[in-house]
Chains A and B, each alone.
Chain A
Amino acid sequence: MLIGNYKETYAADEAILRTPATRVWTVVALGAALAFPFLAGDYLLYLVNLMGVLAIGALGLNILIGFTGQISLGHAAFMGIGAYGTAILASRFGLPFWITIPAGGALACAGGMVVGVPSLRVKGLYLAIATLAAQVILEWVFTNWTSVTGGIRGINVAPASILGFPLDTDTRIYFLILGVAVLHFVLATNLRRSRWGRAFVAVRDRDVAAEIVGVNLFRTKILSFMVSSYYAGIAGGLWVYFTKVLTPENFPLSLSIQFLAIVIVGGLGSIPGTVYGTVFMTLVPEMLKAGTGLVRGVWPDAQSYLFPLRDVVFGLLIVVFLIFEPHGLAEVWNRVKRFFSLWPFAK
């Protein structure tokens, strides 16, 4: 049983992975992640790729909501900015992905800077509506600025390639998504421990108090919006190379809501919680579908009745979750961990 974590050096104090157990498990998890595409089938691999992209986007929203206490209903649109930035640079100028994806992120970041400005004056529901405007306006721009965005027909993008080696299958793009995701999760972990990260949390907990202790509210909020949008933009860029086709219908308001749900179900302000939330929101509907598929042999017409029911069950699951575990899946996981580390004294 682990009873304490004794640190003797500053380096040990600064480490992200503090105990031998976490180090071992991290290595195991990374190893499993590297082996995964060779073991999993197409369908699971596709879902995992999708989850990877969504998780990066959701992490951005978690930085904004969970860390800084601001809200955005325009997150999907920022993902759209990144996606369009990436797609245009790739398809018109033939730039490689290691330029286009960061450029898409930078573009979304600039967009976030503009949209973040109202956050200085309005809070809560009012801010939600202000960011909703961004969602609506950007969706309109994607659809109607035909000369740039390709309008309703969108843009087709060639697969990303490294030195002429195309990342054209789900297995190959998986490694790109994995790499970018790991990088950005480490980045977020470090951001939270930095001066800016602490400023975010201070603003979230009490903005007036934060200002009194010397946190520049305006800069902090804008920065949070910028970082958040940057993450969305990166997710958008990856999404382009993942699906290879981009239309304005890919970034609807419902995606913004889905990001919100991921963050809340996963755990506000929790970085691993973002991953759990993404997995839950993506896999559970698929599992419920698989469940309805099982009864096909017994009752062939069941599907037409059960499919609509699935959305109801999924909705109920989320509600039940929020009632019994408002801190999200991250807290459930923490309880599991505590159980094992305190065993046999815990129950």
Chain B
Amino acid sequence: MKHTIRFSVLLLAALVGLAPAARAADDVVTVGACQPITGRFAFAGVAINAGLQDYLNLANDKKLVPGKRFNYVYEDSGYDTDRAVACFKKMMAQHSPVIMYGESTGLGKAIAPELNARYKVLYASASFSSELADPKTHPYSFISGPTYSDMFGILLEYIARNKGAARPKVTFFYSDTEFGKDPIASAKKRAADLGIDVVGEIVTKAGAVDVTSEVLQLKKTNPDYVIFQGFVLAPIPEVIRATKDFGLKTKFMGTFWSMDKTIIDKLGQDAEGYMGVNPFAYYYEDTAPGIAAMRAWNQKAHPDVKYQPNSYIQGWFTGMVYVEAVRRVVASGKPVTGENLAKVLDTIKDWDTGGVTGKVTFTEHKAGVGRVYRANAQKGIFEPASDWIYVK
């Protein structure tokens, strides 16, 4: 019985812990985040969180917005939509942020009705889904970078620019998920416009290991390019290795999530020539002052860190957009509210991010910019294969 009473007391104590905290002061801009720090998206969530947090700390340190200080609060949402919605509501109740960051496309869709009608805060997420880039249905959301459709647009543009005499042949290789299927319809249309033949579509499970039948399919159509979508690692390395064994000359391309350095580490020498689109510059690039500032900050804040993955830079860039939006609202003399922040997004045109990405112009609440990179297996890094490519 004693145990039962002790258990009840503990439960009560924990409930009290859930009680709302006090509201923030006027000079503080609270940014809330529901980050997938655990769960199957944790590989990116931890880094996104670190990037976003670091940039907001830098903004406070350098006083980027005069008279305002950013207060970053985050929680783990475990890449589970129900938990993420609960996290969102808890954040809103406890901290009343004017800016929120969310973990997934699922959360973006699930929270939309209430975000539009009630909460009205500026919202960005780890998602590049084109579905969320619609100011009519998601007036408070923006995509921090290009959508997946834009990324395909950039790759197709690159293929069209670098084609020979014959019409290039492309195969789309994607996973059976929302993430995989998102850009396919619009990419097919874009390919037709650019004079590129889509000779095949291969759909498989993310993380598949046996790819023999898929590779045989590739052998039959022998495309010039294969574009992967909806995978992070597997089965990309398996497919690339198996096609090389068959002696095909196909070039392989990926989008944001399959463009981290880890894929080169995994493929070793077979990575040579692997290409893809990245909306952001890499951590080791020397030419961009924005990236140099990021490295300097890391040296100061985390001296032992030698490399930061793409998702860190994604979080960092989202932080830059948040700070820029707040700066513009403050400069216009209006109060920092979700509505004003969302409105100011459309005024961001040809914004210079110091080379973290290209010149940023928000149209339809997304920034259609990215660059094609090619793997250099010798050095184990991605190198630019094109300049920044802009799509609408």
Contact of A287 among B4, B15, B117 (CB under 8 A): B15
A220 interfacial by beta-carbon distance below 8 Å: no
The residues in B between 5 and 23 inclusive whose CB is less than 8 angstroms from any CB of A are 7, 11, 14-15, 17-18, 20
Cα(A204)–Cα(B231), bound, Å? 45
Report whether A43 and B18 are in contact in the complex, using a CB–CB cutoff of 8 Å: yes
Q: How far is the CB of A55 from chain B (nearest CB, A)?
A: 14
Report whether B76 and A307 are in contact in the complex, using a CB–CB cutoff of 8 Å: yes
* Sampled A-B contacts (24; CB under 8 Å): A41-B93, A42-B90, A43-B86, A43-B89, A43-B90, A43-B92, A44-B18, A47-B86, A50-B86, A144-B176, A152-B177, A168-B117, A249-B177, A285-B83, A303-B74, A304-B46, A307-B37, A307-B38, A307-B76, A310-B38, A335-B4, A336-B4, A339-B1, A339-B4
Report whether B112 and A245 are in contact in the complex, using a CB–CB cutoff of 8 Å: yes
Of A72-80, A95-103, A290-298, the stretch lying at the interface with chain B is A290-298
Q: How far is the CB of A105 from chain B (nearest CB, A)?
A: 21
Q: How far is the CB of A185 from chain B (nearest CB, A)?
A: 22
B346 interfacial by beta-carbon distance below 8 Å: no
B81 interfacial by beta-carbon distance below 8 Å: yes
A294/B109 contact (C-beta < 8 A), A42-B92, A43-B89, A151-B181 known: no
For A49-75 the 0/1 string (1 means CB < 8 A from B) is 010000000000000000000000000
Report whether B131 and A153 are in contact in the complex, using a CB–CB cutoff of 8 Å: yes
B27 interfacial by beta-carbon distance below 8 Å: no
Give the nearest-CB partner of A47 in chain B: B86
For B95-127 the 0/1 string (1 means CB < 8 A from A) is 000000000001001101100011000000000
Contacts of B4 in A (CB 8 A): 332, 335-336, 339
Report whether A250 and B81 are in contact in the complex, using a CB–CB cutoff of 8 Å: yes
Contacts of A159 in B (CB 8 A): 113
Report whether B178 and A153 are in contact in the complex, using a CB–CB cutoff of 8 Å: yes
On chain B, the number of residues with a Cβ less than 8 Å from chain A's Cβ atoms is 40
Contacts of A339 in B (CB 8 A): 1, 4
Report whether A293 and B110 are in contact in the complex, using a CB–CB cutoff of 8 Å: no
Contacts of A332 in B (CB 8 A): 4, 7
Among B89, B112, B181: residue with most chain A CB under 10 A? B89
B243 interfacial by beta-carbon distance below 8 Å: no
Report whether B1 and A249 are in contact in the complex, using a CB–CB cutoff of 8 Å: no
Contacts of A50 in B (CB 8 A): 82, 86
Q: How far is the CB of B133 from chain A (nearest CB, A)?
A: 14
Contacts of B178 in A (CB 8 A): 152-153, 247, 249
B272 interfacial by beta-carbon distance below 8 Å: no
On chain A, the number of residues with a Cβ less than 8 Å from chain B's Cβ atoms is 42
Known: A42-B89, A289-B76. 9 other contacts (CB 8 A): A154-B109, A159-B113, A287-B18, A291-B14, A304-B49, A307-B37, A307-B38, A307-B76, A335-B1
Cα(A294)–Cα(B85), bound, Å? 21
A247/B18 contact (C-beta < 8 A), A46-B85, A304-B49 known: no
Query: Footprint of A on B, CB under 8 Å?
Result: 1, 4, 7, 11, 14-15, 17-18, 20, 37-38, 42, 46, 49, 74-76, 78, 81-83, 85-86, 89-90, 92-94, 106, 109-110, 112-113, 117-118, 131, 176-178, 181
Q: How far is the CB of A296 from chain B (nearest CB, A)?
A: 8
Contact of A247 among B11, B14, B82, B109 (CB under 8 A): B109
The residues in A between 257 and 294 inclusive whose CB is less than 8 angstroms from any CB of B are 285-287, 289-291, 293-294
Report whether A244 and B75 are in contact in the complex, using a CB–CB cutoff of 8 Å: no
The residues in A between 301 and 346 inclusive whose CB is less than 8 angstroms from any CB of B are 303-304, 307-308, 310-311, 332, 335-336, 339, 346
Interface residues of chain A: helix, strand, loop or mixed (majority): helix
Contacts of A307 in B (CB 8 A): 37-38, 76
Contact of A42 among B78, B82, B93, B181 (CB under 8 A): B93
Cα(A244)–Cα(B112), bound, Å? 10
Contacts of B117 in A (CB 8 A): 168
A161 interfacial by beta-carbon distance below 8 Å: no
Cα(A152)–Cα(B183), bound, Å? 12
Contact of A308 among B18, B37, B89, B106 (CB under 8 A): B37
Cα(A154)–Cα(B112), bound, Å? 14
Contacts of A244 in B (CB 8 A): 110, 113
Contacts of B46 in A (CB 8 A): 304
A245/B109 contact (C-beta < 8 A), A42-B89, A152-B181, A293-B75 known: yes
Contacts of B176 in A (CB 8 A): 143-144
Give the nearest-CB partner of B109 in chain A: A245
Report whether A168 and B113 are in contact in the complex, using a CB–CB cutoff of 8 Å: yes
Q: How far is the CB of A265 from chain B (nearest CB, A)?
A: 14
Give the nearest-CB partner of A288 in chain B: B14
A92 interfacial by beta-carbon distance below 8 Å: no
Cα(A258)–Cα(B1), bound, Å? 28
Contact of A347 among B1, B15, B83, B113 (CB under 8 A): B1
